């Protein structure tokens, strides 16, 4: 069970109330030491209100709320006019979204291993399909695919090679898991047709996941949205741990498709029950999810991402239920 608190929560909620919740749930927050005074969270470079951020691919991010990851409003290749001068970033100094000091990263990995922690590495969220979308713009990208534009093929090869080099740098540090997070789904269906995914994106996934599989590193992947029509392709590409959303994909479908075969890292609902439901409904939801997807042999992890707007009583109910059912089997 994992519970992630978005940085924006610390200025949307009364801080002492949040601290109370963390302190009273030791399974979710082991070793938590309550800080004195005001919490000043770190905001990612692309999550700072009023401070547009240009990433190493020259994409411009903007947000209106500190802590909430922004959206790309400046696409460097909105027109192909710049393409002949466009170059991929240097993987020696960046992961494509943020600067990276690989020497410091290696030191953190060594420290984590020395203390017995599971080393979970990964590419930045949105490494391939969303990266292409950020560079070209969503509509432009889909038209490029429909036209099979040769310039798109060259751009995909550039993004794939960059990701591949980043993966190799991570694998040199021998992590236990490497994560390839990328949203592919909408409320209904994916943002890209299964045919176009297989044609343009899946080959990149196979290229960047294969080195991890060959070295015995567990391959994990996250995607928001309805990814039912892409699920087989994701597993075929190499995914062994799949972080997908519960209600938009359907618990019964997830159970039938993956339970006992693929490790499920279930993304707990953030749109309906935990936001607008009652504490009793939240307890029922978590119990149902554990009952349908878990087994004594394992194969289930669960994660919740807290964002502003969820009532405090619902936050407590969710934390209580996650701790209550963490070892439950129907």
- Residue at 229 is within a domain: yes
Q: What is the pLDDT, as a whole number, of residue 260?
A: 86
The 10s digit of each residue's pLDDT in 50-73 is 999 999 999 999 999 999 999 999
**Using 50, 70 and 90 to split pLDDT, how confident is the model at 278?**
very high
CA 165, 265, 295, 323 torsion-angle sign: positive
Closest CA to 159 of 127, 182, 203, 126: 127
Q: What is the pLDDT, as a whole number, of residue 320?
A: 98
Burial of 235 (C-beta count, 10 Å sphere; 0-12/13-18/19+): middle
The 10s digit of each residue's pLDDT in 127-137 is 999 999 999 99
pTM exceeding 0.75: yes
- Residue at 255 is within a domain: yes
Residue 147 structure tokens:
């036209």
- Residue at 198 is within a domain: yes
Mean pLDDT of 243-253: 98
Q: What is the pLDDT, as a whole number, of residue 264?
A: 97
Q: Which domain holds residue 28?
A: 2-324
**Tokens 């504490």 appear where?**
279
The 10s digit of each residue's pLDDT in 84-125 is 999 999 999 999 999 999 999 999 999 999 999 999 999 999
**Tokens 């590193």 appear where?**
217
- Residue at 95 is within a domain: yes
Q: What is the pLDDT, as a whole number, of residue 272?
A: 96
pLDDT at position 330 over 70: no
Mean pLDDT of 254-277: 96
The 10s digit of each residue's pLDDT in 168-191 is 999 999 999 999 999 999 999 999
CB 303, CB 267: distance < 8 Å: yes
Q: Percent of the chain, pLDDT > 70?
A: 100
Q: What is the pLDDT, as a whole number, of residue 74?
A: 96
- Residue at 304 is within a domain: yes
Q: Percent of the chain, pLDDT > 90?
A: 97
- Residue at 137 is within a domain: yes
Average pLDDT, the chain: 97
**Bridge partner residues of 62 (DSSP):** 71
- Residue at 7 is within a domain: yes
Q: What is the pLDDT, as a whole number, of residue 302?
A: 98
Q: Beta strand 71-74 with 60-62: parallel, antiparallel or unpaired?
A: antiparallel
**Using 50, 70 and 90 to split pLDDT, how confident is the model at 296?**
confident
Count of structural domains within the chain:
1
CATH number, domain of 258, equals 3.20.20.210
- Residue at 329 is within a domain: no
């Amino acid at each position: 069970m994992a519970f992630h608190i978005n940085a924006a929560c610390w200025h949307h909620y009364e801080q002492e109330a949040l601290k109370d919740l963390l302190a009273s749930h030791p399974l979710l927050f082991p070793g938590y030491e309550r800080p004195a005074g005001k919490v000043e969270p770190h905001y990612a470079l692309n999550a700072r209100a009023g401070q547009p951020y240009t990433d190493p691919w020259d994409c411009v991010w903007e947000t209106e709320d500190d802590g909430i990851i922004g959206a790309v409003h400046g696409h460097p290749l909105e027109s192909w006019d710049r393409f002949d001068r466009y170059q991929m970033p240097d993987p020696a100094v960046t992961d494509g979204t943020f600067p990276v000091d690989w020497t410091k990263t290696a030191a953190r990995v060594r420290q984590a291993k020395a203390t017995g922690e599971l080393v979970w590495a990964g590419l930045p969220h949105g490494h391939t399909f969303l990266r292409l979308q950020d560079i070209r713009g969503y509509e432009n990208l889909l038209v490029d695919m429909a036209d099979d534009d040769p310039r798109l093929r060259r751009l995909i090869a550039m993004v794939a090679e960059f990701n591949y080099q980043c993966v190799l740098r991570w694998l040199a540090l021998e992590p236990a898991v490497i994560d390839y997070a990328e949203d592919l789904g909408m409320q209904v269906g994916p943002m890209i047709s299964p045919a176009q995914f297989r044609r343009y994106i899946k080959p990149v996934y196979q290229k960047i996941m294969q080195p991890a599989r060959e070295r015995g590193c567990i391959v994990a992947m996250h995607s928001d949205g309805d990814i039912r029509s892409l699920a087989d392709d994701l597993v075929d590409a190499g995914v062994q741990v799949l972080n997908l959303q519960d209600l938009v994909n359907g618990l019964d479908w997830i159970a039938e498709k993956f339970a006992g075969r693929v490790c499920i890292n279930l993304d707990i609902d953030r749109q309906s029950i935990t936001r607008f439901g009652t504490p009793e409904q939240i307890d029922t939801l978590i119990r149902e999810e554990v009952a349908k997807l878990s087994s004594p042999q394992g194969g289930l992890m669960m994660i919740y991402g807290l964002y502003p707007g969820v009532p405090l009583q619902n936050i407590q109910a969710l934390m209580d239920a996650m701790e209550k059912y963490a070892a439950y089997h129907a």
